[in-house]
Amino acid sequence: MLPLPLFGGCACGAVRYRVDAEPEETGYCHCRICQKSNAAPAVPWAVIPLTGFAYTAGELGMWRSSEDGERRFCVKCGTPMEFRVRDGETVGLNTVTLDEPELIEPQCHVWCSSQLSWFDTVDDLPRKQEG
């Protein structure tokens, strides 16, 4: 059980959010869209119900990263905040934006078919070739 609520925000501090629900799933994503949009070899994320997630400050930009997905970011500093499936009921939160990111540990790896050969984590977590 997490010590809810959790809080987080962007690098410049303009965007802030609150999490009031336990994650449904957590992991590392190795897909090419996450790699490119976050300028990182993998992105740690948590699936949070929208009913337990709210922005409390700041302005977000949005871009459609695929036919079904949208990504939101801080318009001031560009920090990637989240991914959402259109008309979905959850948010894929970038967990490194939490004030205490160590509280949510990844439980799996997804899109390992796109994992970069020179990057790996030392763990025994389940690995899925796709999402």
Pick the CATH number of 6-114 from 2.40.10.170, 2.170.150.70, 3.30.1360.150, 1.20.1440.230: 2.170.150.70
pLDDT in tens, the chain (131 residues): 899 999 999 999 999 999 999 999 999 999 999 999 999 999 999 999 999 999 999 999 999 988 889 999 999 999 999 999 877 899 999 999 999 999 999 999 999 999 999 998 999 999 999 87
Half-sphere exposure of 77 (CA within 13 A, CB side): 13
Domain ranges for the chain: 6-114
pTM > 0.85: yes or no: yes
Which residues does 117 contact at the CB level (< 8 Å), separation at least 6? none
The one-character DSSP state at 125 is -
Torsion of CA 67, 70, 91, 38, to 10 degrees: 110
